[in-house]
Chain A
Amino acid sequence: MSFLELTGVQKHFGPTVAVEDFNLAAERGEFVSFLGPSGCGKTTTLRMIAGFEVPTAGAIVLDGTDITHRPPNRRNVGMVFQSYALFPNMTVGDNVGFGLKVRKRPGDQIRKRVGELLELVHLGDKMARYPYQLSGGQQQRVALARALAFEPQVLLLDEPLSALDAKIRVSLRHEIRAIQRQLGITTVYVTHDQEEALSLSDRVVVMSEGRIEQIGSPFDVYNFPATGFVASFVGTLNVLPAVVVDPGGGGLSVAGQAFRINRPISARTGSTISLALRPEMVSLGEAGGENVLRGTVADVSFLGSIVRIRIQVAEGVVVTVDEFNEPTLVLPQLEASASISFPTEGPLVLESVPVIEPDDLIAEA
């Protein structure tokens, strides 16, 4: 039995289906992220775990106890909000001690615990400050300390870093992960930032329109996306429409240029399928694998450690290539002709993208 289990959880707001059939089993101490575009139901699911929303159907079980209908103040769940939500009338110390005071712990015990937690988030000297005297990053660390102080069974974070600027976002997310590991607390983290989800989590739940698209480790979700949505949402993705030439041998062609993948294709000769190709799988020039496509340079953008080059292979078919930025790199000229190459194991066949059969094309024509 898992520590936190959501079984068949649904949430409807009138006619809107915010979450449909959500199933998740998280182990004790696991760090799970909900990743998905805006409006896909991440917050709603988190709020059901916290008790702020009651599921329309399904059950939420925490450490063997069904908490589906328990009010939020009687669940033992810590929550960190995007807007920090510190109590403006209380000092940092009183904020962190609030949950302990509610639980009627003795004063000296509260003081000790508050001190420990502020040390943990590196704010030991800010005990007597008021929230408005702290920076955004410091406020969010206080909020984290406050959510952890009363030793909740689960820690919930709803886009805790999205109000902060890029530098602090990265350093604070490492800090959150380090603290989470140190305390071994089961954590659910909501974000629409794939980099955040991939770098932090033990497992990522990719969601779209209220449904779970895939649950897996960051490695699996990135390298073996289960659906077209996951493939396109996680990481940058090239989608190539290709015509099947030789299904058994993995032979394909795009705009008359032939190439091959290392698996058989379950589609008929002459039909068009969608292929996903990660930018880092593709190299500029002809040395990157046995598949070579020719085209013209459509765009070159300099992104710091990498250079992103877009090559137009055919009308409406553009492939993005990432090259490491080295001093020896010669940037291609716009409009110049160029070739790209990739290995036969590079392209993924996308399952959920409709496959166009030749018969359909005939019927349409």
Chain B
Amino acid sequence: MTIETRAPGVLDSLASSGRRRRLPRINPFAWLIFILGVLYFFLPLVGTFIHSTRTRPDIFLAYRQVFADSKFFVGLGYSFAVGVITIVVSLLIIVPTAYWVRLKVPRLRPVVEFVTLMPFVIPPVVLVFGLIRVYSSKPLVLTATNIGSDFVLVCAYVILSFPYMYRAVDTGLAAIDVRTLTEAAQSLGAGWARILWRVIFPNLRTALLSGAFLTMAIVIGEYTIANFLARTQAFGPYLSLLGRSQPYTPAAVSLISFGLTWLAMGAIAFLGRGARTRVQVAGAR
């Protein structure tokens, strides 16, 4: 097949040029693993792309259709907005919690870590049924209105983001001397809000970005919860609906959304970087 004959060729040239320039001797086994990894990640993308161009004679027909479909932009925009809100809420919960646990009650770290792992233990279907049962009956009826359902959706996603966000933040906190920096700020007269906002948050930049990135990826691709909450305009349900009715467009949509998500996150990373380039270097030390 085309895929197999072309992809290794590209990689070989990549590998050999790299070798020539600055990796004089490297374990061939390491290269094998690297190449397998690259294949594992890129073959599905290449396959999807090839599939999306099977529309003959106009091979870009699927892409043209996608861009002509307003539901695509609505879906992506909705999911992106939900993703951003989820990230903000998740950060506001996780950063102070992880900080406080590290600073004051390190004994409780395993407990908190376990709690944040719950989304891996409870399947999304169970989670969403639980939420619907609780919030569609009195005293708190939320699922009856659109805004209420959006609210429940964000809450569910915040829970889904916990394992990724907590680990990212906790790793970031481990890389700085949280306790001494806190005490230094305190002795200079700073209160808790200022310490969190001026000292802790800025030094977690890299960690926060990776947590945010993972959360966004989850939200954009999530299907089950959005579907059960009747948020059919969300990107996941939209994609699934499309897949049932059309053969080639879903592949095109996946690739476009993939590209757009990366672009958006890259933009966030880049914008965040502009203000404080040097923090990154300090953090990486």
Binding site for B on A (CB under 8 A): 50-52, 71-75, 77-79, 81, 83, 85-89, 98-99, 102-103, 130-132, 143, 146-147, 150, 156
Contacts and interface: CB of A to CB of B under 8 A. Distances in A.
Contacts of B36: none
Contacts of B285: 132
A101 to B, nearest CB: 9
A71 B204 CA distance: 26
B189 interface: yes
Given A88-B283, A98-B188, A130-B282, 18 more contacts: A50-B183, A50-B187, A51-B186, A51-B187, A52-B186, A73-B185, A78-B187, A81-B180, A81-B184, A86-B184, A88-B282, A89-B205, A89-B276, A89-B279, A102-B189, A102-B190, A132-B285, A146-B188
A88 B279 contact: yes
Interface residues of B, number: 26
Interface string B209-231: 00000000000000000000000
Given A88-B283, A131-B282, A73 B191 contact: yes
A81 B180 CA distance: 8
Contacts of A130: 278, 281-282
A52 B190 CA distance: 13
A73 B188 CA distance: 6
B109 interface: no
B177 A98 contact: no
Given A89-B279, A89-B282, A132-B285, A147 B185 contact: no
Interface in B183-208: 183-191, 194, 198-199, 202-203, 205
Contacts of B187: 50-51, 72-73, 75, 77-79, 147, 156
Contacts, number: 79
Contact of A52 (B183, B194, B202, B282): B183
A81 B176 CA distance: 15
A83 B276 CA distance: 23
Contacts of B185: 73, 87, 98
A74 B285 CA distance: 33
8 contacts: A72-B186, A73-B191, A81-B184, A87-B181, A89-B282, A99-B189, A102-B188, A147-B188
B152 to A, nearest CB: 36
B256 to A, nearest CB: 36
Contacts of B184: 79, 81, 85-87, 143, 146
B282 A72 contact: no
Nearest to B203: A89
A78 B188 CA distance: 7
B191 A72 contact: no
Contacts of B203: 87-89
B129 to A, nearest CB: 44
B12 to A, nearest CB: 40
Contacts of A150: 188-189
Nearest to B285: A132
A79 B180 CA distance: 11
Nearest to A131: B282
A51 B188 CA distance: 12
A150 B190 CA distance: 12
Contact of B183 (A74, A81, A89, A98): A81
Contacts of A77: 187
A79 B191 contact: no
Residue in B176, B187, B276 with the greatest tally of chain A CB atoms within 10 Å: B187
A150 to B, nearest CB: 7
A98 B184 CA distance: 10
